[in-house]
């Protein structure tokens, strides 16, 4: 089992969009596993990869190679389907993050509907828990969903930060502030129920600090912005700057 640092706010780097660029040409380049290894060296505490049903970015072979070569935990993002469950049970990654998935969406647009699917999801995650995977549920900042995630036996919830980031990017700062309040209150609620709290989606240098400052949040998963920023400054400096901002928000110096 790959160790997890229990004290520091962890940064999970999502490498899906390295595969998006690779697949645009149907070539082997750029290699998402090379990016994952580089991210690891740059200070990522984990790597996140989403094997989508349509395989639009990450492939089955990418998951095989990540499992073989990563020195940090893999957070395997997947929809709640029998096919993905079988793949997860074959690999037994450190964590599985259950996300909603629609073929027509560009990205994971909302959180999972846990409250309505409680029984089905409880049955779905039971074998993953039994296999030793940390089970994370990607949800909106909503009390009913968090309480349902707790009841079905999830270890972790990952709060969807997309609404906060989108409103911030559009200059709707009052709405962004309201979204941030919801995220903060729901982080505290989830923590009080004994759930580990993660957050992610759409985070950038401009939006990361208020979320990183929530004391209950243990991990941020960030992809699209970092891979985009890597075009301009390189992957290692792009990750180092995100790490610095996270540490600053948490009141820690990046220098030990």
Catalytic residue numbers?
A: 50, 77, 201
CB of 4 to ligand PXP, least distance (A): 17
- Per-residue interface string for the shown chain with ligand PXP, residues 182-201, x marking contact by CB under 6 A: ------------------xx
Contact between 73 and ligand PXP by CB under 6 A: the answer reads: no
Tell which one of 189, 222, 230, 245 touches ligand PXP (CB under 6 A): 222
Please report whether residue 158 would count as binding ligand PXP according to CB under 6 A: yes
- Minimum distance from residue 46 beta carbon to ligand PXP (Å): 11
Task: Choose between 20 and 236: whose C-beta lies nearer to ligand PXP.
Answer: 20
Measured CA to CA in angstroms, residue 220 lies from 14, 52, 105, 172, 196 at distances of: 10, 20, 22, 23, 12
Rule CB under 6 A: say whether 108 interacts with ligand PXP: yes
Q: Which is nearer to ligand PXP, 78 or 152 (CB)?
A: 78
97 is a contact residue toward ligand PXP (CB under 6 A): yes
Q: Does 246 bind ligand PXP (CB under 6 A)?
A: no
């Amino acid at each position: 089992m790959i160790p997890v640092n229990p004290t520091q706010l962890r940064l999970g780097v999502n490498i899906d969009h390295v595969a998006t660029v690779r697949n645009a040409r149907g070539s082997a380049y750029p290699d998402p596993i090379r990016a994952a290894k580089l991210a690891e060296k740059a200070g990522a505490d984990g790597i996140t990869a989403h094997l989508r049903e349509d395989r639009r970015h990450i492939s089955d072979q990418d998951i095989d190679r990540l499992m073989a070569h990563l020195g940090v935990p893999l957070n395997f993002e997947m929809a709640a389907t029998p096919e993905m469950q079988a793949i997860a049970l074959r690999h037994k990654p450190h964590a599985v993050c259950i996300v909603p998935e629609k073929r027509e969406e560009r990205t994971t647009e909302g959180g999972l509907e846990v409250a309505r699917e409680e029984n089905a999801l409880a049955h779905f995650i039971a074998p993953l828990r039994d296999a030793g995977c940390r089970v994370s549920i990607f949800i909106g900042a909503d009390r009913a969903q968090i309480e349902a995630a707790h009841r079905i036996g999830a270890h972790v919830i990952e709060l969807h930060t997309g609404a906060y980031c989108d409103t911030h990017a559009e200059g709707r700062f009052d709405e962004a502030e309201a979204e941030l309040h919801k995220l903060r209150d729901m982080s505290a609620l989830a923590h009080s129920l004994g759930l580990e709290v993660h957050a992610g989606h759409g985070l950038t240098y401009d939006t990361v600090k208020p979320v990183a400052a929530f004391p209950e949040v243990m991990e941020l998963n960030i992809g699209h912005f970092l891979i985009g920023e890597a075009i301009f400054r390189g992957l290692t400096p792009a990750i180092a700057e995100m790490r610095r901002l996270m540490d600053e928000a948490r009141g820690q110096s990046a220098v030990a």
